[in-house]
Structure 1
Amino acid sequence: MPSNIEIASSFIEGAPPGELADVVTDIKALTSDGAEIIPSLAPAFEKYNEAQLATVKLPGSSEEVIVSAYNKLEDGRYYDVESQTSFAFDHITQACPPRNSPNGGFCYLDKSLLRSLSTHAEEHYQSCSYGVYPTENDTAVAIVLVANKYSPNNFWNGRYRAIYTLPASLPATLTGKIHINVHYYEDGNVSLNTTKPISISIPAGSSADAVIKRIATAERGQQEQLSDAFTRLSEGAFKGLRRQLPVTRQKVEWEKVGGYRLGQDISGGKGR
């Protein structure tokens, strides 16, 4: 039987975008250990934050920086490509202590990709964070982008994540995945979780702009596919779920249902 820590960890790792604090509150209320269980869940918090591309504002900065496995340093700190500094990150509170350090030996490959990615992000995404990081042994580069949109007052939150790997030597095939997670929870729970694999051929001699343009084309195609899928659902499956009007063509007043003479009032028939 799973332990409380294993069960609570699964809750942490499955938290919807923007709702980690709510999940933590529920864990404290539901477990016999209360708040004392939270420090034991540190590995789950770290796994969640890195997988979800958590973002944090560094002290003295207005921009949010990505926390991921791609910009993680050997000492457990993370690297910011813009300021070229490393920073600590508290995975439980999702906060950054007020102290940065100079570049701790993190080798940055190609600033031209970062500039092109910045232009792409500003043009297509409202409020997002991004980064370009070398992978192990500098054999490839990871291109990472995350955009969050939270609207808890309207009972929905969403997150868009795109992660690509580009080999350092061209020609090559850029591979990656686009993840979209939206949670709507007014009077119920509706969740969209979709992942689309990406594979793009990058010819030899391609510039950074050319690489990012091919990524933009793939992302646009994914958005168009989602739009088409929603249209088909609206015109097909969702329409079939709608309650049909009775013969009278009038909506049933459910608060008065106890007073209906079933089979007569609803059907419009006359009493005998």
Structure 2
Amino acid sequence: MVKSCSAFVCTERNTEGTEVHFFRFPFGDPARLENWVKALRRENFTPVRGSSVLCSKHISSSYIIVRIGKSIVSCRDVRVILNNDALLREGASQAVAAYNKRQLTPVKMEDGSYSLITEFNDLGGGRFVDPRSKTTFRYDHLRKEASDYQHWNPDPLSESWRQALEHQFRAYGSDHYKNGHCAVFSKSEGSTVILTACIEDHQFQSQNFWNGRWRSIWTTSFDPHGTGNAVLKGHLMIQVHYYEDGNVQLQANKEIKENLVVGSESATAKDFVHTVERAENDCHSAIAGSYQKLCETTFKALRRQLPVTRTKIEWANLASYSIGKQLRNQ
């Protein structure tokens, strides 16, 4: 069910894909609940359990510590232990910053496009670079918002290679990752060009009790004036969590190393993406095969060997059982 923020004149709604987080009113803590209602300053307002929510635009950033899927973990208990709000804000910011970079967190840019928060575009001091738009920006790791955009000059040696790869890589991402985002970063060290391509795609289906995320990082380095092959290294990370009446998780990591033919910028980009596509398709197929085998072996072994009567059912003589007679009569 779509819910709207309870704050006065706020139009935020918890629709799928929104970057704004939503918090339920703390009905389990009457004192905090009273403070929330007073802070809203809405005359005759009474929150409704299960439907009233506030969006993150009206919640102090010191309240939020980490986001996993659609769940927000409060740092209220940590605050009691530390008894130092300044230390808590500093520690939470560092922890969430490291988490966001590991998760390749998507960030909406000024022009409406998306980039990724990673270690590869981290300039330090809370600033990141989006090479596609040639801008740097300050990123709030707690609110997941970009601001303070500034012009950025790309690396002259590697930029043309990055642009060629980005063109091919974004087309690949659009074809294979419906809700995903990708980014390509580059730098040079001496005469060596280093290219890094990242993909992040996720589905957070809290209403259906499951969340999932795909991340992949592909890196290569080569001398653009040389000829021959380079090494393309990939790191695939898959997480799936299903938690309806149970707790089933999949966490898979795969390291890949392939040869990359270095030619022209366009040809190298095409071979790069072709290699990525083949490797990621193989990984998808392997996981699907593993789950099929899991259903046919492991899960089957967990089933009850005998019915509650402690007697095996002779399926060939099903008609002799009462249920078989009932079915036959129908």
TM-score bucket of the superposed structures, by smaller chain: 0.7 to 0.9
Change beyond 3 A, Cα 1:197–1:241: same
Change beyond 3 A, Cα 1:84–1:191: same
> Is the 2:179–2:201 Cα contact (8 Å) retained in structure 1?
yes
Q: What RMSD in Å do the two structures reach over aligned CA positions?
A: 2.5
Q: Distance in 1 between matches of 2:79 and 2:296?
A: 44
Aligned to 1:123: 175
Aligned to 1:197: 255
Q: Distance in 2 between matches of 1:106 and 1:95?
A: 26
How far does the alpha carbon of each residue in 1:60-94 deviate from its partner, in whole angstroms, 9 at most, with x for none? 41x32100111122443111122221111011221
Please say if 1:100 is aligned against 2:141: no
Where structure 2 has 5 or more consecutive residues not aligned to the other structure, the ranges are 1-64, 312-330
Q: Which runs of 4+ in 1 moved over 4 A?
A: 104-107
> Is the 1:86–1:104 Cα contact (8 Å) retained in structure 2?
no
Q: Distance in 2 between matches of 1:148 and 1:89?
A: 21
Where structure 1 has 5 or more consecutive residues not aligned to the other structure, the ranges are 1-11, 250-272
| TM score, norm. by length of structure 2 | 0.64
Aligned to 1:173: 231
How far does the alpha carbon of each residue in 1:12-67 deviate from its partner, in whole angstroms, 9 at most, with x for none? 68x64x24x522x2x32465158933442211111101111011112341x32100
How far does the alpha carbon of each residue in 1:113-169 deviate from its partner, in whole angstroms, 9 at most, with x for none? 001001111111111111111146254111111111111111111110000111133
| TM score, norm. by length of structure 1 | 0.77
Structure ranking higher in strand proportion: 2
Q: Which of 213, 218, 230 is matched with 1:164 structurally?
A: 218
Change beyond 3 A, Cα 1:40–1:234: same
Deviates more, 1:224-233 or 1:184-193: 184-193
How many residue pairs align between the two structures?
232
Q: Distance in 2 between matches of 1:230 and 1:208?
A: 33
Q: Distance in 2 between matches of 1:136 and 1:44?
A: 30
Please say if 1:72 is aligned against 2:122: yes
Q: Which of 244, 247, 251 is matched with 2:309 structurally?
A: 247
Structure whose alpha-carbon radius of gyration is higher: 2
Task: Give the drift of 1:191.
Answer: 1.5
Q: Distance in 1 between matches of 2:107 and 2:238?
A: 20
Please say if 1:111 is aligned against 2:172: no
Q: Distance in 2 between matches of 1:211 and 1:104?
A: 25
SS of the equivalent of 2:274 reads: helix
Q: Distance in 2 between matches of 1:72 and 1:87?
A: 10
